[in-house]
Amino acid sequence: MQKIIGKEKSLSDLLSNKKYTIHYYQRGYRWGKKQIEELIDDLTGEFYEFYDADHSRDMVKQYGHYYLGSIVFSSGENQAAIIDGQQRLTSLTLLLIYLKIWCSLV
């Protein structure tokens, strides 16, 4: 049995220049509007716990962390396979893509 090693990572660490695979037995992406709204509400609520309109970007960088739950990977030869957390990682990736596009249009 392989040893399980838990490490704290930021979303940036998880997504920057990374490619993941998903094993054939994993379910496909299933999150709908309800789950996305819950995730955004959780993220927004956590942000507003610290938010002050007078804060600079540097101060915002110091805001507390939000625990997204565990993400479990199985290490392969060239890529890690997502075992648990696929729905959250996919949703956050889609949200970041949307925000990047939206910000480029404004």
21 in Cβ contact with 76 (< 8 Å): yes
Q: Residues 22-34: pLDDT tens digits?
A: 988 999 999 999 9
pTM over 0.75: yes
Mean pLDDT estimate for the chain: 90
Apex 24 CA angle, 23 and 25, nearest 5: 90
pLDDT range class, residue 1, cuts 50, 70, 90: low
At 5, the amino acid letter reads I
What percent of the chain lies above the pLDDT cut of 90? Answer: 55
